[in-house]
Chains A and B, each alone.
Chain A
Amino acid sequence: MDYSEIAERISRKFSQKNQTVDSKKIEGKLRRLVDEFGVLPSEAERSVTNELAKEFNIPALGTSSGSGPGSATEQKKIADAMPGDWVTLEGKVVSLSTPTSPTIAQSGIVADESGAIRFIVWAKSNAPAMTEGSWYRIESAVVDDYKGIPGIKVHSGTTIKELGTTDPLIPVPVQITDLHTGVGSVRAKVVQEWEPTHDRMLQSGLLGDETGTIKFVIWKEAGKERLEVGSVYSVFYALVDEYNGRLSLNLTTAKIMQEEGDIPTISGGEAAIRGAIVHIAPGSGIIKRCPVEGCNRALSRQNYCPIHEIQPNFVYDLRIKGWLDDGEKTHNLLLQREVVETLTGMTLDQAKEIAENNPLGMDEVFLRMRDILLGRYVLCRGREIENRLLVNSCERLTFDSGEHATLLNRAGGAS
């Protein structure tokens, strides 16, 4: 009997785990089990695999041949797969992402014409690697829900067969307000770009369409490009996550196509608040920022960045953090440099001049700005995100004699 084929299969399994095994040695073990001990070849394969797995300290690999118990699992459309189901489905692998843990062999998104769902292939399942763009039949996988997001888990009892079909699959974009956690496709415009908060972040900002806006993020990976502010894109199969009750789109593994033309966007969460500035928080005024690209964190007085340590070549910036109070509710404010300059009449250059020449340094800028703003009535417009108003424009209110007259009438009217 020829054992080379089985031996080859076993050694391939281990080379996937970056272990090299000697095929001749495996053949020897197999021959011994089958010829000398009368073990069935399939059982011999299993036992040699397990023995080697133990030797390399790899959790049980199992064999790909013996398909699961063949329990009756339903063939379903992806859109009908609910957490808790054991399902069999046919779909196209539309994206693959880098596994987040060594216990995961592959992760990505599988789609059919009904919808798309995230999947995870456990390393232990020993399933064949799937390739992006191909159709597969996935038999008896489990649908579960991780942090409220449904996903398919491919385990050792799941069988995967490549189908060889090449149907193009065009997802239908939905409107932003119709997105829900899982996987989603939209056609939207980049309405805002934010400075990255993490070294590994390529870009973050806001996407908008006629119905709303949503935060997006793209993580740094080879071949990823930034989106242009003001351009319209079709985004297929983005991961829709939820954090603190808000949805966001992770576009890292999504298919993104730039579109011609423009779409109207509503600025969801756009707020205009009239009130008095009742507090200017520490960290307002002139600040130093970390010059490392993509960092931009505010530095301590000693020019210390929590990530990049001492940065003597910091960059100056202006900002105001504070509270705007309308008598009913207090809104946390964040004013960026342009807004601060317009509102206080102090430019970054003037603030720099004060910070570098005044005995109080940066504190002097804080105190002057506080004196200008504290207790003043303003109208701030911006976007309110998680209780904080990111101010796009802010102007001082002026006395309105029309309002005065209206109030006099109201107070003097029949009581």
Chain B
Amino acid sequence: MSVNARDVGKKDTSFEREPARRVFAAELRECRYQFKEGDDEKSPTFVLLPTGERSNRIFLIGTLTEKQRQGDQNLFYRGRVVDPTGTFFVMAGSYQPESMQQIAKIETPAFVAVVGKPNIYQKDPASSPLVSVRIESINVVDRETRDLWVLDTAARTLDRVDALAKGETKDVTTAKEQYPTLDPAVFKKMAYEALAQIKI
């Protein structure tokens, strides 16, 4: 087959896009530690997952159950996306006009695939931190795609739990320091329960 070399392009060759991690809502909810590598203003920010992997971006699929338009000058949308283990809080602000238009179009409830950046917010020191996902893209998908995501995310979560037990990477070490009370068995159980909810 003839490939158009024109499209092969010259740019992007050195650029590595941050991968989108697969994580269940119940694990993302537990994130408390956020860090940056490098002093550059543009260096990516990572949220450290309790299972010991950094995530600058996540990919999630669930049911968009609610969406709400908020703000006057700074218009933004909030939404709740539910997976078998809990709820993701997603948002799209005026800096993401594409994402805002996409979420605006979607009628709840619907299965949605979301690519976005996780962030840890704390309203004030007294309240407990909240992890939300700033939407890069959101799109309606079917149930089979949702089920594929549950398989994928369960497999990735189990991989991380295994890696955590081996305890070799830098992120694993940091996770053990930052999340000393979390038992990895919790996440294994969570993966099992998510899988068990898929009807065969």
Contact = CB atoms under 8 A, between A and B. Distances in A.
22 contacts: A196-B5, A276-B59, A278-B59, A298-B7, A319-B4, A327-B59, A330-B17, A332-B17, A334-B3, A370-B139, A374-B113, A375-B145, A377-B149, A386-B8, A386-B13, A399-B151, A400-B151, A404-B151, A404-B200, A408-B192, A411-B188, A411-B189
Contacts of B185: 415
A20 to B, nearest CB: 46
Interface in B145-198: 145, 147-149, 151-152, 154-156, 158, 185, 188-189, 191-192, 195-196, 198
Contacts of B144: 398-399
Interface string A324-341: 011111101010101000
A101 interface: no
A219 interface: no
Interface in B1-25: 1-9, 12-13, 15-22
Contacts of A197: 5-6
Contacts of B115: 278-279, 375
A410 B59 CA distance: 23
A279 B136 contact: yes
Nearest to B184: A415
B48 interface: no
A374 B114 CA distance: 9
Interface residues of B, number: 50
A375 B8 contact: no
A392 B3 CA distance: 9
Nearest to A201: B5
Contact of B140 (A327, A330, A371): A371
B28 interface: no
Interface centre among B2, B147, B154 (most CB of A within 10 A): B2
Interface in A314-354: 319, 321, 323, 325-330, 332, 334, 336, 338
Nearest to A375: B113
A195 B59 contact: no
A326 B156 CA distance: 10
B92 interface: no
B19 A194 contact: no
B200 A401 contact: yes
Contacts of A279: 115, 136-137
Contacts of B13: 244, 386-387
B75 interface: no
B84 to A, nearest CB: 12
B6 A325 contact: no
B100 interface: no
What 9 pairs across the A-B complex have the smallest Cβ distances? A375-B113, A411-B192, A194-B5, A374-B139, A330-B17, A411-B191, A415-B185, A377-B148, A278-B115
A266 interface: no
A58 interface: no
B151 A376 contact: no
Contacts of B7: 298, 319, 321, 334
Interface of A, secondary structure class, is mixed
Contact of B155 (A374, A397, A407): A407
A376 B145 contact: yes
A388 interface: yes
A82 B151 CA distance: 58
The bracket for how many chain A residues form the interface is 35 or more
A399 B7 CA distance: 33
Interface of B: 1-9, 12-13, 15-22, 59, 61, 112-115, 136-137, 139-141, 144-145, 147-149, 151-152, 154-156, 158, 185, 188-189, 191-192, 195-196, 198, 200
B139 A375 contact: yes
Contact of A407 (B21, B139, B195): B195
Interface string A163-193: 0000000000000000000000000000011
Interface centre among B112, B137, B140, B152 (most CB of A within 10 A): B152
Given A330-B16, A332-B12, A375-B145, 19 more contacts: A193-B2, A276-B149, A278-B115, A278-B137, A279-B136, A298-B7, A330-B20, A332-B17, A334-B8, A375-B61, A375-B114, A385-B8, A390-B3, A398-B144, A399-B148, A400-B151, A401-B200, A404-B200, A410-B158
B114 to A, nearest CB: 8
B4 A296 contact: yes
A352 to B, nearest CB: 18
Given A377-B145, A404-B195, A194 B2 contact: yes
Contacts of B22: 327
Contact of B198 (A244, A321, A404, A415): A404
Contacts of B59: 276, 278, 325, 327, 375
B129 to A, nearest CB: 25
A156 interface: no
B196 A336 contact: no
B189 A375 contact: no
Given A296-B4, A329-B19, A377-B145, A407 B12 contact: no
B67 to A, nearest CB: 17
Contacts of B21: 327
B20 A278 contact: yes
Contacts of A407: 151, 154-155, 158, 191, 195
A403 interface: yes
Contacts of B61: 375
A362 to B, nearest CB: 17
A92 interface: no
A415 B165 CA distance: 11
